[in-house]
Every structure is written in C-alpha cells, then in structure tokens.
A and B are shown apart, each in its own frame.
Chain A
Amino acid sequence: EPEVTQTPSHQVTQMGQEVILRCVPISNHLYFYWYRQILGQKVEFLVSFYNNEISEKSEIFDDQFSVERPDGSNFTLKIRSTKLEDSAMYFCASNNGGLAVPYEQYFGPGTRLTVT
C-alpha cells in the first residue's frame, strides 16, 4: 500500500539555523499539508498546498516558514531561522480529494525537530 514518507526521522539543529524537512506524498495525490505537534499539545495545521501554491496557512506559518514542491515527488517545509519553540513533531499529509471534499488525509510518520 502506498505511504507518505518523511525524512529525516529526527533532526537536531541549533537555534537560528535553517532546516528543511522533506516529504514524499503518495504519487497520485494532488493536495499536500503540513501539521506539527509540540510535545504534549494538539496536532496543529500549518499549511495546505495545491497546484504549486499555498491554499491556506495558519497563523503559525509566518515568514520563517516556506513550502515547496521542487520536483514531481518531494514536498518540503523550510524553516529559515529556527527558534526553540519550533521544536515539535512535523507531519506531512496528502490526499487526492480536494480542499472542499472530505477525503481522508494520509499521514507520514513525522520528523521530530529538536532546536537547541
């Protein structure tokens, strides 16, 4: 069964450094999402992406964050200058339904980002 994959599984970085989290969505999916979960807190929506542009972003997704689909398979989340409070598990998800259609989102295993 096709799966969403994410790399790396764990990333440790120093405050102020740039990080890129990578995701490979399921191949025929068209809608992509990033979520994060700070330890002990809710899974929070960051951004949705369709047709090579951001469809929606939350207030968490400020100018330090960007997303890109650099080729036909990868979907990346970049944090330009990491802060301690960016430490979290970051989940990528994809689906083939649409933004107005309630299709199931398929989640990757997550990348644990630790900012020191």
Chain B
Amino acid sequence: AQSVSQHNHHVILSEAASLELGCNYSYGGTVNLFWYVQYPGQHLQLLLKYFSGDPLVKGIKGFEAEFIKSKFSFNLRKPSVQWSDTAEYFCAVNAYNQGGKLIFGQGTELSVKP
C-alpha cells in the first residue's frame, strides 16, 4: 500500500531562515506529487505539484520542491521564510492510474517567529 511520511511534525524558524521539509513516499510505480498548505482557519491550498519532467518544481509564494526518484523523496524548500508562512504543510501522493485519491503525510506545522 502507498504511504507518505513527513519527518518533521513541528518546525519553528525565525524570519529569513531557510526551510526544508522532508517528504518520503512508498510506492514502486509512477507517482504524482503534491504539497498542500493550510493557513490557520483556511482551506487546503495547492503549493506545487510534480507530474513529470524537470524534477525541480516551483510553486507559489517562493516555494520549490525537488523530486528525487531514487530516494522516493519530494522535499519542500524555501530560501527565506516569512511570518506569513506560518501554516501546516501536507505532502500528498497520487499513484498514477490508480484512481484519483490522494495519500497524505501527517503534516508539518511551521511556526515562523517575527
């Protein structure tokens, strides 16, 4: 069965610090990969996605993620975080041609101190 692991449950950073959130998945076939963000009191919103092509994908608000197939990883990065990045971040995987469902990681809560 597919599964997704996010290694960090709660990350606390100061503004301007760099961010990297880990995400690993287990599935042997082709996958589509997503990072969603949930700001306090708001919907889950898509940050970025990877389907194919360049493994380094850029998303909204200066976020990027790199798909490393050999490591089954899709880590999220941002060079300089802002207070407004405080939110919960979810990595999700969809196994290609296995239905549309998303398998989520447990989420990482990011707190950015001003």
Interface residues of A (CB under 8 A from B): 3-4, 31, 33, 35, 41-45, 48, 55-56, 58, 91, 95, 97-105, 107-110
Cβ of A107: which chain B residues have Cβ within 8 Å of it? 36, 43-45
Q: How many residues of B contact A (CB 8 A)?
A: 24
In the assembled complex, the Cα of A31 lies from the Cα of B96 at a distance in Å of 16
* B18 CB within 8 Å of chain A: no
Partner of B42, one of A45, A91, A95, A109: A109
The one of B92, B100, B103 that contacts A97, using a Cβ cutoff of 8 Å: B100
**Closest 5 A-B residue pairs measured CB to CB?**
A102-B32, A107-B44, A43-B104, A45-B101, A99-B100
Binding site for A on B (CB under 8 A): 32, 34, 36, 42-46, 49, 51, 90, 92, 94, 96-97, 99-107
Contacts A/B (CB < 8 Å), 6 sampled: A43-B90, A91-B44, A98-B100, A100-B99, A100-B100, A105-B102
Scoring B51, B94, B100, B102 by chain A CB atoms within 10 A of each residue's CB, the highest score goes to: B100
